Amino acid sequence: MNKLLEVTDVRKIFGGSVRAVDGVSFSLAERETLALVGESGCGKSTVSRLILRLTDPTEGTIRFEGRDITHMSQGALKDIRREIQFVFQDPFSSLDPRMTAGEIVTEPLAIHGKVRNKAERRSTAEQLLQAVGLSAKHVESWPRQFSGGQRQRLGIIRAFALGPRLIVADEPVSALDVSVRSQVINILQDMQEEKGTAYLFISHDMATVKHMADRVAVMYLGKIVELAPKASFFAGPQHPYAESLLSAVPASHPNKRRKRILLAGDPPSPIRIPGGCRFHTRCPIAQDICKSQEPSLQLVGDNHLAACHFAKAWPIASRIGELQPA
Ligand code: SF4
Ligand code: MG
């Protein structure tokens, strides 16, 4: 598979001491969906902003289609911005209330000079609205006249307007009512199928991730601690933090129920990241070595990486209780 996006050892330190993203590497292939998961504050939104070049990394490189875009000027980025689009979490604040639906969905085309006149812009807007199941007569409607789910459809079709190769979707359904989430997810999947777009799909909802992702990356305190193909990940996560996230998901069948792993406390501050394994202050199987030696991401299965001294090829839930906390 061709690499569309390659992120290598990227760091983002805010104010000299807040290590929001603390050495993250991953790649994304064409047409692939990589889910980036973790609790709020783990750095996943900062990763998305770095890829969109809305903020500059402190260190590391970001390559898109083989080109180094890490420090590309805003002018040079114009072409890249056509190729990398975004869908934000909140469809209520991310759409300009003073623009009509038609103007919103065609704005990227107008910015990039892709619509020649008003009539063309209007007819394009009508087609775009229909592509996500909205009536063409809504071109003149204002964002406030739409429901949350409809607004997110506008956000999605706006993102697709320029035919991007990558869409960064940051919690695209978490602000929506549960009842409309699956519709919006289905639209995202249908559009991907049709257009061949890759997604970096940021979420903290494991059920959605299971539905959408090809691969899963779990972040904790600014680092990826597990990165694996979806099937392998859901069959047996190898990092205790990933296991704890999965254990919170209701099982589809009682036999598949995982032992619930409740973590003590909140994640430490990114200003004071614990030494050794950064998860040791909350890890249910932490040992002495975990306090002094930082585990690196290691191969623990087919394309399955985990950063834990005790990552092995069997379910962690069965080990909790075997290993006594040090
Ligand atoms: Fe837990 Fe130690 Fe593994 Fe870190 S290295 S996740 S503290 S067992
Ligand atoms: Mg976030």
Query: Per-residue pLDDT for the chain (326 aa), expressed as one digit of tens each?
Result: 579 999 999 999 999 999 999 999 999 999 999 999 998 889 999 999 999 999 999 999 999 999 999 999 989 998 899 999 999 887 778 899 999 999 999 999 999 999 999 999 999 999 999 999 999 999 999 999 999 999 999 999 999 999 999 999 999 998 888 888 999 999 999 999 999 999 999 998 898 999 999 999 999 999 999 999 999 999 989 999 999 999 887 777 766 677 788 888 888 999 999 999 999 999 988 999 999 999 999 999 999 999 999 987 556 666 666 555 44
CA–CA separation, 76 vs 300, rounded Å? 40
Please state whether 163 falls in left (phi above 0), alpha (psi between -120 and 50) or beta: left
**Which ligand lies nearest the alpha carbon of 39?**
2
Nearest residue (CA) to ligand 1, atom 7: 280
Which two tokens mark 28? Answer: 């994304």
Query: How many whole angstroms from 280 Cα to the centroid of ligand 1?
Result: 6
For residue 18, give the 3-state DSSP assignment.
strand
**Which ligand lies nearest the alpha carbon of 238?**
1
For residue 12, give the 3-state DSSP assignment.
strand
**Which ligand lies nearest the alpha carbon of 275?**
1
Query: How many whole angstroms from 325 Cα to the centroid of ligand 2?
Result: 31
174-183, long-range: CB < 8 A, 24+ apart: 174/89, 174/203, 174/204, 174/205, 175/89, 175/90, 175/91, 175/92, 175/148, 176/91, 176/148, 176/149, 176/152, 177/148, 177/149, 180/147, 180/148, 180/149, 181/208, 183/149
CA–CA separation, 217 vs 93, rounded Å? 28
For residue 15, what is the DSSP state?
T
CA–CA separation, 310 vs 295, rounded Å? 9
DSSP string, 189-219: HHHHHHH--EEEEEES-HHHHHHH-SEEEEE
Helix %, strand %, coil % for the chain, to 5?
Answer: 35, 25, 40
For residues 6 and 63, the answer to whether their CB atoms sit within 8 Å is yes
User: At how many degrees (to 10) do helices 101-111 and 118-131 cross?
Assistant: 110
Atom of ligand 1 nearest to the CA of 280: 7
Q: Which residue has the tokens 């199987």?
A: 285
Q: What is the structure's pLDDT at 321?
A: 60
Pocket of ligand 1 (CB under 6 A): 239-240, 277, 279-280, 283, 285-286, 290, 295, 308-310
The pTM (predicted TM-score) of the whole model is 0.92
